[in-house]
Amino acid sequence: MPIKFKKIRVRIAPSPTGPLHIGTARTALFNYLFAKKHKGSFILRIEDTDLERSNPKYEKNIKDGLQWLGIQWDEFYKQSERIDSYAKYLKKLLDSGQAFYCGHSKEELEKERKEKLKKKEPPIHICEHYNKKLKKGIIRFRPPKKKIVFNDLIRDRVEFNSELLGDISIAKNLKTPLYNFAVIIDDYEMKISHVIRGEDHLSNTPKQILIQEALNLPIPQYAHLPLILGPDKTKLSKRHGVVSVADYQKQGYLPKALINFMALLGWSPQDKISSQKSENSHDEEMLSIKELIKKFSLGKIQKGGAIFNVAKLDWFNGNYIRQKSLENLTLLCLPYLVERGLIEPIFINKQYPPAYGGYSLERKYIITKTKKEIPINKLKKIIGLEQKRMKKLSEVGELTEFFFKSPHYKSDMFKWPRTQRARLKEKEKKEIINILNKLEQILSKIKEKDFTIEKLKTILMLEAEKFNGDRGCLLWPLRVALTGREKSPGPFEIAEILGKERVLERIKEAKKTI
Ligand code: GLU
């Protein structure tokens, strides 16, 4: 039965202590999808009360990352700009005696913690200064003794015993609230209806509920998302490789691919049982943000951890790369070709838009090695040839390098069939040189303007048929001479782009190395 909610207001509340993590981005996405589905509001709240660890550069990184992904917030807040609000509620708790100043020093608390851990006791602090009416020190909340029960929208019934929590630290002083306190004041004042966040916060929820009860605040609905795990089933971290959204962007993942992939980390458009079956398989649906919004529901989120499978992300990215128009893909690839030192942009007297880092299809480019201009149409053709195989934009340099630089040849690569790789015998060398001579002879007779895929195909296929139907005998050495590689697009497509002069040059060069 569909649940009826009051106005849906959700939030993502990152601390700017590091770059936007893929886990935070997924939490943001789930909040965003939920808000959009129910015509509610999605709020970005920067939790920067920890001044020592917070850094404005990470706030920028978080905002840039969310915007790049297309996860646009409707409202924005910063905790550091709201300090007065927290003080008001802190005073209320202090006045009612539910909160108190714990006069213990950091060192004393640390010593107590260590001793408790040694004795295998929970490292909580039950302060003997409660009731002493001290006027300084950390502010703590003394929870009433009770069982806290709440219904998590993903994990169902969750139960905690408040006696296991000890006295909860809620502020360093009136001007410096701590997470568990600031978060509930903000959630209340921002009228948050649903707190959708990572499972790592599950143990904070009873603390927050107790403080909400003490202040007589409404309690939002909670939904704790399953953790994202690496392939070894431990919590995803830097050990597993890249984890920040900016790094995925740099590697050439497309925002649509990341969104589609992240949406399926713990959620599935099917019900929970069938989604488990398809784990690790590549039959997930390609879903646009619109479709995700339509299909999203908290009820379809799984309880168990979600495995981050890079191969699956690559699969999505490859699909989204193939959906790009050639113009757009070329634009996206240009910076990677420049970064790899294959081409250079030339400045003409014109301002280029900052989108795409100032790269533009109207700009002129030269090949770095030869300093000759390469027309944008040729660049488009090169990119188009690799569009089928590219999984990330950053691969474009490596995949297309042979168009911009002469290849390095390994002589044994010329041998056909290619399954039998071994050092070439003298007789085999001669055979290959004969074939390359033959190719040179045929190709030099073709006019420059006839160096088109169709013409080359017609002429060379006819010749290739002469090898008892085994066309590879002719076409394989040609492909290797043009690229120096085992894997590449077909030789006719490459020859058309390289043009007559460079094709003949490469065949000559290849002969020398055999
Ligand atoms: N600042 C907290 C974090 O970054 C927010 C947790 C929450 O959503 O309550 O993990």
Specify the pLDDT at position 67. Answer: 98
Specify the pLDDT at position 3. Answer: 45
Beta-strand ranges (E) seen in 63-199 are 75-78, 99-102, 138-141, 147-152, 156-161, 168-173, 176-177, 194-198
Q: In what order do the strands lie in the sheet containing 9-12? A: 9-12, 41-46, 75-78
3-class DSSP state of 101: strand
Specify the pLDDT at position 284. Answer: 55
How far, in Å, is the centroid of ligand 1 from the Cα of 165?
A: 19
The length of the chain in residues reads: 514
How far, in Å, is the centroid of ligand 1 from the Cα of 47?
A: 7
Kindly report the average pLDDT of the chain as a whole number. Answer: 93
Specify the pLDDT at position 395. Answer: 97
- The residues, any chain, with a CB within 8 Å of residue 165's CB and separated by 6 or more, are 124, 143, 206, 207, 210
Atom of ligand 1 nearest to the CA of 47: 1
Specify the pLDDT at position 10. Answer: 98
Q: In what order do the strands lie in the sheet containing 176-177? A: 99-102, 138-141, 168-173, 176-177
How far, in Å, is the centroid of ligand 1 from the Cα of 3?
A: 26
Specify the pLDDT at position 1. Answer: 37
Atom of ligand 1 nearest to the CA of 204: 9
**Ligand 1 binding residues, C-beta < 6 A:** 13-15, 47, 183, 197, 201
Question: What is the secondary structure of 427-480 as a DSSP string?
Answer: HHHHHHHHHHHHHHHHHHHS-GGG-SHHHHHHHHHHHHTTTTT-THHHHHHHHH
| 354 prior amide bond cis, ω within 30 | no
Specify the pLDDT at position 357. Answer: 66
Q: Which candidate, 195, 197, 233, 225, places its Cα nearest to that of 302?
A: 225
How far, in Å, is the centroid of ligand 1 from the Cα of 15?
A: 7
Name the stretches of the chain with pLDDT < 50.
1-4, 273-277, 280, 282
Specify the pLDDT at position 493. Answer: 97
Site to substitute for ligand 1 among 15, 82, 180, 227, most atoms within 8 A of C-beta: 15
CA–CA separation, 392 vs 254, rounded Å? 8
Helix axes 491-513, 472-483, angle to 10 degrees: 80
How far, in Å, is the centroid of ligand 1 from the Cα of 1?
A: 30
